[in-house]
Structure 1
């Protein structure tokens, strides 16, 4: 008599992990940031350079942590291991806020690009926010079905999203090699404040560089695959970002970029026609959709890790037969739906910038805390100390660049979590 064997759900393979990192980095930011950064002129290049340096420093530290101390939960797990439950909780809560708030901006990016193909979207009050929330719940359902299904989507969408970006950089390179004169852009003074503002916004393009460390227990051969994916994904994203930014500065008027709901599509449409612009807008929507999928995967894993660490209600520990934290997914998506719908009156560009800035303001704290935790968790790696300190200083500087409104909203969202910690520690419901 033979006994049927039940196999555990398959985890994320190496290509899926790399696609998760690249997909979470190269998403809405590269397609919408050219419009947000256009008023800053050349300051955006300096902002990108500083941000890439800071992102690579962060990625280096995360890579070493994941190689030496692989733990599910990413930043939260490292901070709790270094400093205990309360700092770990503050890190986890702020990181979770960053995820579900930021996912609202990603969902808006999907709809913003689709509005170029279906203009009616931008002309009906509240419709962009409703469609954004619909995207969120579609992907939430897919992630609940299984982590492997989410990984498959990351692979496909990551491959698709690179096509128009490579085409744009290639076009700009051809124009430059042919001696096409660059556009005379309005002069914008290069100042520390402008560069800091650019860095604060451009870091949106690197949120998720630690994505592979969060679902580490569901990654095959995590100690080897996670560090490679983290560093390779961050470096590749940085090269693409610089290429896109230089292309816009050289061959797209800042005023046109700033007014565009889909600047990458408009750039290619300017040279290849409206049909191409519409096609690229669909690619851009798919890109943001894929990134949203990856971050929804991560936003569900975070409450699960917190619950298992004893700093969140046990109710979040429950997983489905497919090994997915359905309850955490449902609560996270409900919260980001509320944030998006409460701001439905804003235009798509304003809505994206507002939600992204709040997400960044909340998310800088866990990055800084993880860098300090790494110094304690990896005492023998002296060369890593200046890298971690530089990354910490960068997060503080970029936070300042976001401005008082975003930092204020982010601080309020973080403070809301403190009573929950004390309640959970007293009752552990």
Structure 2
């Protein structure tokens, strides 16, 4: 039995029930949402040829793998619930960890959950040939449904995640096979233009966003068996599988639509399937996208609730959120609080703007988590570790450089959104001091 949070000793703790397969499905499910079905068209508009398109996805995959390798060492060092929050708390102090958790609570995880639940409703409607005029109440129903599943503990949530992830991989595999068999893309109308560094940089940003999400397995490390070995294996295997899926899917789009056709598409997966099977094909891939987004919602809820539970155990969130269900070992109060806030965002429709605001804070939070690796290597040098990120410090420094570049480009292109994001992040500081001075809640 493990502790539910290092700030509070409990008689009920997390149980290690997830094996390597479960953990790998968490990694894959946390990365693959709707991006690979839609984002390649945006990348094509920023690139000058199919080769450049593939290069962007290959570089994005390599950078994401570097991030996953760094998280693998962190997970092996501290295989407890809470992920990045725990690493930041230990390396840089509770206030830094709180601001990180504050962003996850107010915007990042809750906003993503509300947004992707809405996307799920829209694609589920498209799969059945129904136009959903107002997806908001159905998005709320989706969030409540997933909360109910995860109330019964990690085995219930993991079983749902495994099923949804296998189905989404099957949908991507079908898309790849059908595209490679059908082919028939028209030849390019002009010779490929030389690579434009600025435009190529713009293409890499959405690619990297599509590769994000591998860190959810670190959030649930307290429920993984043999975590020092399982977490690194799951992260490496999961990210290699995702990269292979993304590269092959892009190759399939190019084989059927061509680079110019891909650039002009608003929904490349639907256009590919429609070209081969007509409207029935478009509805079929809409079902695949719906399944994929539902899986992302599920793992986002699983990971976020563990972070908020540890915050509650540390006394920087509701104390009740720090407790686990005595039978199911689930962070049931944290789940409910997360669901309530996400439902509010879904009903008001404010999540889109909040997610725009959160871009800078999200990536800076990821950079801060990776930076804890330098602290662990120095302050815990004698600590036995089963996995170390290779080519240290080159790889983490490269990842940090890329993140800072993304943040700089985002600030340059969207200064108002970046400014609002900074205000949301800074708002966490007075909240922290107020919360610490309140009586036990």
| TM-score where L is the length of structure 2 | 0.83
Structure 2 counterpart of 1:347: none
Structure 1 residues 133 and 185, CA, compared in 2 at 3 Å: closer, same or farther? Answer: farther
Structure 1 residues 326 and 256, CA, compared in 2 at 3 Å: closer, same or farther? Answer: farther
Structure 1 residues 408 and 253, CA, compared in 2 at 3 Å: closer, same or farther? Answer: farther
Find the aligned partners of 2:34 and 2:358 in 1 and give their Cα distance: 14
1:81 to 54, 69, 90: 90
Unpaired runs of 5+ residues, structure 2, are 1-11, 382-387
Structure 1 counterpart of 2:121: 111
Deviation (angstroms), 1:310? 3.7
- Note the alpha carbon deviations across 1:224-254, whole angstroms, 9 max, x for none: 1111111111121112112222333443267
Structure 1 counterpart of 2:38: 32
Q: Does 1:19 align with 2:25?
A: yes
Contact 1:102 1:355 in 2 (8 A): no
Deviation (angstroms), 1:18? 0.9
Find the aligned partners of 2:176 and 2:213 in 1 and give their Cα distance: 23
Structure 1 residues 41 and 383, CA, compared in 2 at 3 Å: closer, same or farther? Answer: closer
Aligned residue pair count: 412
Structure 2 counterpart of 1:410: 421
Unpaired runs of 5+ residues, structure 1, are 1-5, 345-350
Structure 2 counterpart of 1:94: 103
Structure 2 counterpart of 1:367: 366
Structure 1 counterpart of 2:208: 203
1:308 to 308, 313, 329: 313
Find the aligned partners of 1:424 and 1:317 in 2 and give their Cα distance: 15
Deviation (angstroms), 1:45? 4.1
Moved more, 303-312 or 143-152: 303-312
Deviation (angstroms), 1:364? 0.8
Structure 2 counterpart of 1:64: 73
Deviation (angstroms), 1:378? 2.0
Find the aligned partners of 2:27 and 2:180 in 1 and give their Cα distance: 27
Structure 2 counterpart of 1:247: 252
Aligned residue for 1:324, secondary structure, equals: coil
Find the aligned partners of 1:132 and 1:66 in 2 and give their Cα distance: 32
Find the aligned partners of 1:337 and 1:200 in 2 and give their Cα distance: 29
Contact 2:270 2:282 in 1 (8 A): yes
Contact 1:23 1:158 in 2 (8 A): yes
Contact 1:92 1:366 in 2 (8 A): no
Structure 1 counterpart of 2:402: 394
Structure 1 residues 270 and 138, CA, compared in 2 at 3 Å: closer, same or farther? Answer: same
Find the aligned partners of 1:72 and 1:163 in 2 and give their Cα distance: 30
Aligned residue for 2:430, secondary structure, equals: helix
Q: Does 1:154 align with 2:161?
A: yes
Find the aligned partners of 1:299 and 1:119 in 2 and give their Cα distance: 33
- Note the alpha carbon deviations across 1:51-73, whole angstroms, 9 max, x for none: 22221111111111222332321
Structure 1 residues 90 and 341, CA, compared in 2 at 3 Å: closer, same or farther? Answer: same
Find the aligned partners of 1:315 and 1:259 in 2 and give their Cα distance: 51
| TM-score where L is the length of structure 1 | 0.85
Structure 1 counterpart of 2:7: none
Find the aligned partners of 2:61 and 2:356 in 1 and give their Cα distance: 18
Structure 2 counterpart of 1:421: 432
Find the aligned partners of 2:240 and 2:288 in 1 and give their Cα distance: 22
Structure 1 counterpart of 2:219: 214
CA RMSD across the alignment: 3.0
Moved more, 167-176 or 328-337: 167-176
Deviation (angstroms), 1:171? 3.1
Structure 1 residues 103 and 359, CA, compared in 2 at 3 Å: closer, same or farther? Answer: farther
Moved more, 269-278 or 166-175: 166-175
Moved more, 406-415 or 258-267: 258-267
Find the aligned partners of 1:149 and 1:360 in 2 and give their Cα distance: 31
2:144 to 133, 137, 142: 137
Find the aligned partners of 2:67 and 2:142 in 1 and give their Cα distance: 30
Structure 1 residues 87 and 180, CA, compared in 2 at 3 Å: closer, same or farther? Answer: closer
Moved more, 296-305 or 264-273: 264-273
Aligned residue for 2:131, secondary structure, equals: helix
Structure 2 counterpart of 1:172: 179
Contact 2:20 2:233 in 1 (8 A): no
Contact 1:193 1:401 in 2 (8 A): no
